[in-house]
Amino acid sequence: MEQAPAQALRHHPAPPQNFIRKYIFSIDHKVIGKQYLGLALLSAFVGMVLSWAMRIHLGWPDASIPLLGKLSPNGAPGGVMTPEYYLSLMTMHGTIMAFFVLTAAPLSGFGNYFLPIQVGAEDMAFPRINMSSFWITFIGFILAALTFVIPDGPPISGWTAYPPLSAVGPDAGPGQGWGQNLWGLSIACFTVASLLGSLNFLATTLDMRTKGMTLSRLPISVWGWFITAALGLLAFAVLLPCALLLILDRLAGTSFYIPGGLVLADRVQPHNGGSPLLFQHLFWFFGHPEVYLIILPAFGIIGHVLPTFIRKPLLGGWKVLTACMMLIALLSLVVWGHHMFVSGMSPYSAMLFSVPTMFITIPSIIAMLIWIFSLYGADIRFSTPALFALGFLSLFISGGIGGFFLAQPSTDSYLHATYFVVGHFHFTMGISAVFAIFAGFYYWFPKMTGRMMDETLGKIHFWASFIGMYGIFMPMHFLGFAGHVRRYSALVDDYLVPLLGTQRFISIAALVVGAVQLLFFFNFIWSYFKGKKAAENPWEATTLEWETTSPPPIDNFGGRRLTVYHGPMEYNVAGSRGDYVMQASPEPAAARAGD
Amino acid sequence: MGKIFALVVVAVAIATAYFVVAHVYWMPEDISVHGHLIDEQITETTAGAGILFLLGQFVLAAFVFLYGDSKGTRKLKSWPGGAKPLIWASIVLIGIEVLTLSFIGSKAWGAVYFSPVDPNSLHVDVQAEQFAFYFRYAGPDGQFGGIHPELINEGSQNYFGLDPANDVAARDDIVVGTLTIPVNKPILLTLHSKDVGHSFFVRELRIQQDFVPGITIPIHFIATKTGKYEIVCTQLCGLGHYNMKAYLEVVTQDGFDQFLKAQSAQ
Amino acid sequence: MSSVIYPQPAADAGAARAVRSASRPAKAVPSYTAIWLVVGSISMSFAALTSALIVRQDIGMDWKPFVLPPILYLNTLVLLASSVTLELARKELAATYLRSETRPHPRKWFYATLALALLFVLGQFLAWRNLAAQGLFLATNPSSSFFYLFTGLHGLHVFGGVLGLLYANHRSMRGLRFAAGGPLNVAAVYWHFMAILWVYLLLILRIRM
């Protein structure tokens, strides 16, 4: 019995009519994708506001932030932030940004919306599991937000939550009671939702491609999501036991991570024999692939967006960039110890971890060269998505270079836990990945909403963000060279006092860049309702999402079943009607001019 | 637009390079025997990575500058050889750079961790706690007393939980809040934590080592210059993390002998 | 509950063959792909827990081994038997396809599988009772911690497997036909994995206790 006809009915036998099934508990991957993007935007706003509060406090420790005083009279009496509240804000800033923005938006947001369309399917393989993935993520977000509302506040142990600080409970400090518990539950929800999401991404890509969509014709963005989903399946599967053991130590009196003889709050803690390093190993076994889970979808989006705006395929086609992404994903599983060079781990292990960490630069640099050298001889159209994609290239070079210093134990022994690390990961995750997300937004907004975002506002957003973000995070590398320790709520050490001026510069830059992001939010909302109407294929791109209406109908292609004839990068095709051939066009791809 | 992008990228790249090369912000003076190896490694990495940084940004800028929107009038071309030369260049050049840095760097790393401890080292026991460092000298008997967590009492300043009543070795242990050491002499520190994770960082010594609860971790070094330096905590340990520090006083041998005599008299 | 009945051929040999062999159909079924991914992910979790056990045992130096409750071995046999009965259930289902039943669904061997599953879970509870009687609880010692952790997590996943079997049966009962035997084959992959996982966990516990 054939699958195809049944499949046409399987996912959307009867489109939902009522508001709840259409927009709230929807099984349509496009709605779910938009829900994820909406949650990511909300989380980004929250995370950004947290960072503003942190930056104000760092620059002007005695400043009063009235709104903060209202939110937490304990944490900021009279609006002046206490040291523990700074750490609480820092912990939640990292947690919310890393998980609910950076892991959610490019993968669960854009991936959910566009992967099925780009492979020519009607929906994800498991629409109801997809729906529950989103809502479990949402519950996770609510739990994280709840930490701000409970009396003791959010945890202060950082997004890395090292035990014993995170494990012994309230004796360790404020926020370490229910704050840490809620945090753990939030992470657990996110993890489960992520694992379920991976199943959908992988099964849909493997089993639900339309006719003619061979693996070699998949858009690079699909490869990015596919590889990320596979890596996530392995990485998140380790975070779950890691977090479970922490929860058991906290609530059930076990001693997986807590050794004996610890004295906190004048009490000898009732644990024995556990190993804080065990947590670090388990956490970073997840933690390092996590940062690649953040950047690989970005690689996919950039690899997808660039050809459209340079009107050329990428050098090496899909094969080279995809091979780079796979190699990066694979290597990311064996480098976690580079977070632990000075942790007390065996110094021999340190050298063992350093080698693959250094080697991971090779596929990263190959990918970067592919993108840059594809620009040679191109015809670059500088629309806003293109600017963000090009900005990504510059930012990722900057971020990646910092990695050379941190990958070697000898140099890392000085730079570890300084602002050099903060600059490095903000460059790679905080701004490169974010620029890829912005590129995705500006690129795909017309398809998702049927309207164009305003180009002028977009360009202002780009320029201010690009220059401003360099201004925020490049000086952090310099502070790192000076040995400025991270996670400090105030600069009291002798050698730090002269660096206050630099911190203030960074804070001002951060506030300005933050304000500019509001421009993006405004552009987004205004264009949603009032933007210029978008054509079906405003960027003259080749992939399947541009073969359907803007926005697409519920089954993505209006009852049609597309057949794919070409790869995704048939730009600059001589003899074709335009300078490009769409994937589903039966028109043959003639020889490329200048190939 | 592309030309502006190119100029901005070049400007940022040059500004960054200037700040780094001119050491506008830099490491403080190195006062340790092994530190120069780390400094050399940082310099070499700066050079190697810096060249890649500048090359990458400049080439990106150049291509964006040259190949902006021609509105379809320009004939497109492809990088000669396609991806292959880029792949080979990366594997060979980066491979060499990576291997070189790793090989040389292993010497710097080894100097800190694999060099043998001098048996004549001055052994100081270091305890980190929320939110202070305490340092213990063995005293004239050359023996450290045992640590009893249940006896730790901040109020009576028994930070290490010593039991002088029953433990002979503990009677003459010297406990202070400043790490005083003689210059040009091998020092052995044993690091342990009373409560949560902390870290020991002296920028001038080029030494950073975490305290891991449940484990005692040794580090050793020789300081080459007298002076007063800061020991700061770099592992998030709670609300007082930013304020957790102690001073390292490197003194002459005479100065150190006087210090010990004064402490023992108490 | 829909009562859709699809037109049936005289003898649905293809479907029967597919059910019996659970071979990968010509066009891959997403749920079949997905269940192998689930197996991979769960394996990764237990691999992490295994390394946690090894590290904790070697570093803590406070590991007190104990004798594993003998009922565990009986439970193992019960679980392995349930895998056998599940295979018989799949043959049963294939036979109903061949007989062109309007609602092809597995019968007695399927219920036998469920019964053995519940017996296994009951047996694991008895093992826990045995340990509690010896004064060994979750936090008593790292050895008992890992025992409860491994058996508890495995039991939870078995419970999920039971739900999966019930769901597969429900789908069959609705009279829908699946060229690949569909849900029951998917559930069978997971179920056999539960048995293999248990044997592995038992070995680790035995070696390390």
Domains of chain A plus CATH, in order, are 22-274 (1.20.210.10), 290-533 (1.20.210.10)
Tell me: the pLDDT tens digits for C46-72? 999 999 999 999 998 899 999 999 999
CA atoms within 13 A on the CB side of A424: 20
Domain contains C68: yes
Nearest residue of chain B to residue A347 (CA atoms): B113
Of all residues in chain A, the percent with pLDDT exceeding 70 is 96
Q: Positive or negative, the Cα torsion across A427, A431, A432, A433?
A: positive
- Interface with chain B: mutation pick from A258, A408, A421, A431, highest number of B CBs within 10 Å: A408
d(CA B115, CA B188): 12
Please choose, from the candidates B123, B250, B255, the residue with its C-alpha nearest in 3D space to the C-alpha of residue B178: B250
The partner residue sitting opposite A233, judged by closest CB among C41, C51, C52, is C41
Instruction: Collapse the DSSP code of A319 into the 3-class scheme (helix H, G, I; strand E, B; otherwise coil) and give the result.
Output: helix
To the nearest whole Å, the CA of C88 is away from the closest chain A CA by 24
CA atoms within 13 A on the CB side of A198: 25
User: What does the pLDDT average to over A464-478?
Assistant: 98
* Terminal alpha carbon distance of chain B: 74
Phi/psi class of residue A329: alpha, beta or left (left: φ > 0; alpha: ψ in -120 to 50)?
Answer: alpha
The partner residue sitting opposite A416, judged by closest CB among B8, B9, B208, is B208
To the nearest whole Å, the CA of A388 is away from the closest chain B CA by 11
To the nearest whole Å, the CA of A249 is away from the closest chain C CA by 9
Phi, psi of B217 (to 5 degrees): -115, 125
Cis peptide before A106 (omega within 30 of 0): no
d(CA A15, CA A10): 11
Summary mean pLDDT of chain A: 93
Is the Cβ of A247 closer than 8 Å to some Cβ of chain C? no
- A–B interface: beta-carbon pairs under 8 A: 313
- pLDDT at residue C170 in the model: 83
The partner residue sitting opposite A493, judged by closest CB among B37, B42, B232, is B232
The partner residue sitting opposite B86, judged by closest CB among A168, A369, A477, is A369
Vertex B64: Cα angle to A313 and B13 (nearest 5): 125
d(CA A441, CA A383): 13
Vertex B13: Cα angle to A416 and A465 (nearest 5): 85
Task: Check CB contact under 8 Å for A233 and C37.
Answer: yes
Residue C2 has pLDDT above 50, yes or no: no
To the nearest whole Å, the CA of C29 is away from the closest chain A CA by 7
Contacts of A486 in chain B (CB under 8 A): 234
Contacts of A199 in chain C (CB under 8 A): 34, 37-38
Is the Cβ of A185 closer than 8 Å to some Cβ of chain C? no
Tell me: the pLDDT tens digits for A48-94? 999 999 999 999 999 999 999 998 998 999 999 999 999 999 999 99
Band of residue C19 on the pLDDT scale cut at 50, 70, 90: low
Is the Cβ of A334 closer than 8 Å to some Cβ of chain C? no
Instruction: Collapse the DSSP code of A1 into the 3-class scheme (helix H, G, I; strand E, B; otherwise coil) and give the result.
Output: coil
Contacts of A282 in chain C (CB under 8 A): 48, 51-52
Contacts of A411 in chain B (CB under 8 A): 38, 41-42, 45, 105
Residue C13 has pLDDT above 70, yes or no: no
d(CA C160, CA B32): 60
Residues 317-346 of A with CB under 8 A from B: 320, 342-344
Please choose, from the candidates A450, A446, A448, the residue with its C-alpha nearest in 3D space to the C-alpha of residue A458: A446
Tell me: the pLDDT tens digits for B140-193? 999 999 999 999 999 999 999 999 999 999 999 999 999 999 999 999 999 999
Can you tell me which residue has the tokens 């007063």?
Answer: B228
**DSSP label at A73?**
T
Tell me: the pLDDT tens digits for B36-85? 999 999 999 999 999 999 999 999 999 999 999 888 788 889 999 999 99
To the nearest whole Å, the CA of C100 is away from the closest chain A CA by 15
Band of residue C4 on the pLDDT scale cut at 50, 70, 90: very low
d(CA A568, CA A546): 11
Residue A272 has pLDDT above 90, yes or no: yes
Please choose, from the candidates A281, A294, A271, A121, the residue with its C-alpha nearest in 3D space to the C-alpha of residue A194: A294
Residue A7 has pLDDT above 60, yes or no: no
Nearest residue of chain A to residue B218 (CA atoms): A344
Nearest residue of chain A to residue C180 (CA atoms): A1
d(CA C16, CA B16): 70
CA dihedral A466, A468, A469, A471 (to 10 degrees): 130
Contact between A447 and A545 (Cβ < 8 Å): yes
- pLDDT at residue A414 in the model: 97
Interstrand relation of B174-176 and A263-264 (parallel, antiparallel or unpaired): unpaired
Q: What is the value of ipTM here, to two decimals?
A: 0.96
The partner residue sitting opposite B212, judged by closest CB among A156, A343, A594, is A343
Contacts of B113 in chain A (CB under 8 A): 347, 350
Task: Check CB contact under 8 Å for A408 and B243.
Answer: no
Can you tell me which residue has the tokens 């008895």?
Answer: C126
3-state secondary structure A497-556: HHHHHHHHHHHHHHHHHHHHHHHHHHHHHHHHHHCCECCCCCCCCCCHHHHCCCCCCCCC
Of all residues in chain A, the percent with pLDDT exceeding 90 is 90
Distance of CA A286 to the CA centre of its chain: 15
To the nearest whole Å, the CA of B202 is away from the closest chain A CA by 9
Band of residue A3 on the pLDDT scale cut at 50, 70, 90: very low
Domain contains C23: no
The partner residue sitting opposite A316, judged by closest CB among B82, B161, B206, is B82
Q: In what order do the strands lie in the sheet with B207-211?
A: B179-182, B245-251, B227-232, B198-202, B207-211
- pLDDT at residue A9 in the model: 44
Please choose, from the candidates A191, A119, A428, the residue with its C-alpha nearest in 3D space to the C-alpha of residue A111: A119
- pLDDT at residue A2 in the model: 33
Instruction: Collapse the DSSP code of B219 into the 3-class scheme (helix H, G, I; strand E, B; otherwise coil) and give the result.
Output: strand
- pLDDT at residue C9 in the model: 45
Higher pLDDT, C184 or A39: A39
Residue A300 has pLDDT above 50, yes or no: yes
3-state secondary structure A337-403: HHHCCCCCCCHHHHHHHHHHHHHCHHHHHHHHHHHHHHCCCCCECCCHHHHHHHHHHHHHHHHHHHH
Q: Neighbours of A (≥3 Cβ pairs closer than 8 A)? A: B, C
**C83 DSSP β-pair partners:** none
d(CA B171, CA B151): 15
d(CA A271, CA A168): 9
The partner residue sitting opposite C179, judged by closest CB among A1, A234, A274, is A1
CB neighbour burial string for B110-124, b if at least 16 within 10 angstroms, e if fewer: bbbbeeeeeeebbbb
Residue A1 has pLDDT above 50, yes or no: no
Domain contains C3: no
Tell me: the pLDDT tens digits for A322-335? 999 999 999 999 99
The partner residue sitting opposite A206, judged by closest CB among C33, C42, C145, is C33
Contact between A554 and A23 (Cβ < 8 Å): no
Q: Which two tokens stand for residue B201?
A: 């960082």
Residue A437 has pLDDT above 60, yes or no: yes
Residue C3 has pLDDT above 70, yes or no: no
- pLDDT at residue C24 in the model: 47
- Interface with chain A: mutation pick from B19, B79, B84, B211, highest number of A CBs within 10 Å: B79
List helix spans (H) across chain C. 13-21, 30-60, 71-98, 108-133, 142-173, 183-208
Count of the separate structural domains present in chain C: 1
Q: How many CB atoms lie within 10 A of CB A78?
A: 10
- pLDDT at residue C184 in the model: 85
Band of residue A350 on the pLDDT scale cut at 50, 70, 90: very high
* Residues whose CB falls within 8 Å of the CB of residue C113, separated by 6 or more in sequence, listed in order: C82, C85, C86, C89, C165, C191
The partner residue sitting opposite A238, judged by closest CB among C30, C45, C177, is C45
- pLDDT at residue C1 in the model: 37
d(CA A538, CA A202): 30
Query: C43 burial class (0-12, 13-18, 19+ CB within 10 angstroms)?
Result: middle
To the nearest whole Å, the CA of B200 is away from the closest chain A CA by 10
Domain ranges, residue C134: 45-208
Is the Cβ of A404 closer than 8 Å to some Cβ of chain B? yes
- pLDDT at residue A595 in the model: 38
Of all residues in chain B, the percent with pLDDT exceeding 70 is 100
Band of residue C16 on the pLDDT scale cut at 50, 70, 90: low
Task: Check CB contact under 8 Å for B241 and A487.
Answer: yes
User: What does the pLDDT average to over A530-540?
Assistant: 94
**DSSP label at A311?**
T
Range in A47-56, B18-27, B47-56, C24-33 the model is least confident about: C24-33
Contacts of A277 in chain C (CB under 8 A): 59
Tell me: the pLDDT tens digits for B85-119? 999 999 999 999 999 999 999 988 998 889 999 99
Task: Check CB contact under 8 Å for A252 and C149.
Answer: no
Band of residue C21 on the pLDDT scale cut at 50, 70, 90: low
The partner residue sitting opposite A275, judged by closest CB among C15, C33, C56, is C56
Residue A29 has pLDDT above 90, yes or no: yes
d(CA A292, CA A433): 10
CA dihedral C31, C36, C40, C41 (to 10 degrees): 10
User: What does the pLDDT average to over A439-449?
Assistant: 97
**DSSP label at A216?**
G
* Residues whose CB falls within 8 Å of the CB of residue A17, separated by 6 or more in sequence, listed in order: none
User: What does the pLDDT average to over C127-152?
Assistant: 96
Phi, psi of A554 (to 5 degrees): -65, -35
d(CA A223, CA B89): 25
> What is the greatest pairwise CA distance in chain C?
68
Contacts of C33 in chain A (CB under 8 A): 125, 202-203, 206-207
CATH number at residue C69: 1.20.120.80
Q: Neighbours of B (≥3 Cβ pairs closer than 8 A)? A: A
Q: Which helix (H) or strand (E) holds B13?
A: helix B2-21
- pLDDT at residue C169 in the model: 84
Contacts of B114 in chain A (CB under 8 A): 347
d(CA A201, CA A36): 15
Higher pLDDT, C177 or A120: A120
To the nearest whole Å, the CA of B184 is away from the closest chain A CA by 22
Range in A19-28, A253-262, B32-41, C25-34 the model is least confident about: C25-34
Phi, psi of B210 (to 5 degrees): -70, 150
CA separation, residue A128 to residues A210, A406, A419, B72, C167 (Å): 21, 43, 44, 46, 15
Phi, psi of A62 (to 5 degrees): -95, 5
Topology at the third CATH level for domain B122-265? Immunoglobulin-like (2.60.40)
Nearest residue of chain A to residue C64 (CA atoms): A273
CA atoms within 13 A on the CB side of A37: 22
- pLDDT at residue C175 in the model: 57
Task: Check CB contact under 8 Å for A342 and B209.
Answer: yes
